[in-house]
């Protein structure tokens, strides 16, 4: 009986080690992806700043007011009373 329990324990320990290795692999993968995302974010922030420097101040100010008011929602163009996000009138 003890021998069976010892074998079960060994199998469980092997599974645990495999799970730990898998966890480390996934952790490394996630850290790599986070680093790539952070680099892309910095790149986009820099691009936005370059574009903003070349924009007319009045338009930029109006855009910033809208984004502050809208929060995380999107801002789209409206032309001839039609929304260019959903195309509703």
What is the torsion angle, in degrees rounded to the nearest 10, for the CA atoms of residue 2, residue 3, residue 6 and residue 8? -110
pLDDT digit string, tens, across residues 57-84: 988 888 888 888 877 777 788 888 888 8
Please name the residues in contact with 84: beta carbons below 8 A apart, sequence gap of 6 or more.
76, 77, 78
- 32 — pLDDT class (breaks 50, 70, 90): very high
Give the distance, in angstroms, between the CA of residue 76 and the centroid of all CA atoms in the same chain.
21
Q: What is the mean pLDDT of residues 35-52?
A: 95
Task: State the pLDDT at residue 15.
Answer: 96
Task: State the pLDDT at residue 73.
Answer: 76
Taking the model in full, what pTM does it have?
0.57
């Amino acid at each position: 009986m003890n021998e069976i329990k010892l074998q079960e324990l060994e199998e469980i320990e092997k599974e645990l080690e495999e799970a730990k290795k898998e966890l480390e692999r996934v952790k490394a993968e996630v850290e790599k992806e986070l680093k790539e995302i952070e680099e892309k974010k910095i790149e986009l922030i820099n691009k936005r700043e370059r574009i903003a420097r070349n924009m007319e101040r009045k338009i930029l100010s109006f855009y910033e007011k809208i984004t502050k008011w809208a929060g995380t929602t999107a801002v789209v163009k409206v032309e001839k009373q039609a929304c260019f996000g959903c195309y509703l009138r």
